[in-house]
Amino acid sequence: MTPDILLLCLASQLCLVTGQLLLKHAMTQTNLTPIPWWQVGKLFSLGIVILSGWFFLWGGLLQRKDLSYIYPFEGMGPALMLLGAWLFLKEKLTLQSCIGIGLISVGIAIVATS
Amino acid sequence: MSTNHNNIEGGEPSPAALGGRRPRLHPYLQIIMAAFCVTAAELLFKRGAMATAHDPAPLGIIGLSVLGSMWTWCGIAVYIASFLFWLNVLRRVPLHIAFSIMSVTQVLVPLGAWWFGNEHISPCRWVGVFIVLAGIFVVAGPAMKAEEQL
């Protein structure tokens, strides 16, 4: 795996996780009464813009590599999501979560070098 | 990003918190439907990307030329269906649980690529895919337990 492909995979995953965090926050706001539409709209729009960045980066990767080769990099998503939840939502990381993230990293390394 | 009206450790908002509104489809069924839509969309995107692989790329590394294929547009339509399911899921299910369950696509997509796209997947690569999947289940485990306790 070349460094540019690795960087593109990382950038696409960062866009995916950031966009999903924003969408989750926006959709959670729709459970409130009254619904704060202005805030929902802002978060939702920003989430969509960032997810669009993920889409085009992903399209560029698909043109260069087999789907089955790059798709396991999506496995970084839950790990980055947990990190994002820890940083932005102040969720607590458990030992089990860290072990899981370690397994994901090993799996990715195997896929990348196979 | 500091406010979260769900129970962060895994709880869904109660029907009362939702103003008595109930989803038409169970949220976890919607996650599975979203996963199948994502799998179909990824396979369509790959087909679109291969159809346009030799087209000149307007912005270099960014894959804008994939939009020149009808397969890509079909993929976008299926992805939008998946997205609508996903938005409903996000209203009810904590993000880390939903995202972890969606990781079933880690198995579905390589299976689809092998079945429909004739892509070769080496045994070593399969091992890596399943280790990634095992890790995802370990990460999702504590949240799932918290969900069951509520």
| Mean pLDDT, chain B cut into blocks of 10 residues (150 residues total) | 40 49 71 90 87 66 74 93 90 76 74 81 82 75 60
HEC assignment per residue over B30-70: HHHHHHHHHHHHHHHHHHHHHHCCCCCCCCCCCCHHHHHCH
Total count of domains within chain A: 1
The CA-based dihedral angle spanning residues B73, B89, A97, A46, taken in that order and rounded to the nearest 10 degrees? 60
Q: Cβ contact (<8 Å) for B129 and A67?
A: no
- Domain residue ranges in chain B: 27-148
Name which of B4, B19, B132 is nearest A72 (Cβ-Cβ).
Answer: B132
Note down the domain range covering A83.
Answer: 3-113
- Look at A105 and A53; give whichever has higher pLDDT: A53
Provide, as residue numbers in chain B, all residues whose Cβ is less than 8 Å from the Cβ of A79: 135, 139
Q: Cβ contact (<8 Å) for A103 and B132?
A: yes
Predicted confidence at residue B122, as pLDDT, reads: 82
Name which of A60, A99, A110 is nearest B63 (Cβ-Cβ).
Answer: A60
Residues in chain A: 114
Name the pTM for this structure. 0.68
DSSP alpha helices (H): ranges in B116-150? 123-149
Residue recorded with tokens 């009362």: B16
Predicted confidence at residue A58, as pLDDT, reads: 82
Task: Report the gap between the CA of B40 and the closest CA in chain A (Å).
Answer: 12
Predicted confidence at residue B80, as pLDDT, reads: 93
Q: How far apart are CA B7 and CA B150, in angstroms?
A: 10
- B residues 1-30 closer than 8 Å to A (CB): 1-6, 8-9, 13, 17-19
Predicted confidence at residue B59, as pLDDT, reads: 53
- Look at B55 and A29; give whichever has higher pLDDT: A29
SS3 B11: strand
Predicted confidence at residue B114, as pLDDT, reads: 81
DSSP alpha helices (H): ranges in chain A? 3-29, 37-62, 67-70, 76-88, 95-113
Predicted confidence at residue B33, as pLDDT, reads: 92
Phi and psi at residue A61, to the nearest 5°: -65, -40
Cα-based angle B97, A81, A16 (whole degrees, multiple of 5): 110
HEC assignment per residue over B99-120: HHHHHHHHHHHHHHHHHCCCCC
Q: Cβ contact (<8 Å) for A104 and B136?
A: yes
Predicted confidence at residue A1, as pLDDT, reads: 65
Q: What is the pLDDT of residues A57-84, one digit of tens each?
A: 888 888 787 766 776 676 677 778 778 8
- B residues 107-146 closer than 8 Å to A (CB): 109-110, 113-114, 117, 119, 121-122, 124-125, 127-142
- On whether the CB atoms of residues A42 and A48 are closer than 8 A, the answer is no
Residue A9 banded pLDDT, cuts 50, 70, 90: confident
Q: How far apart are CA B62 and CA B29, in angstroms?
A: 34
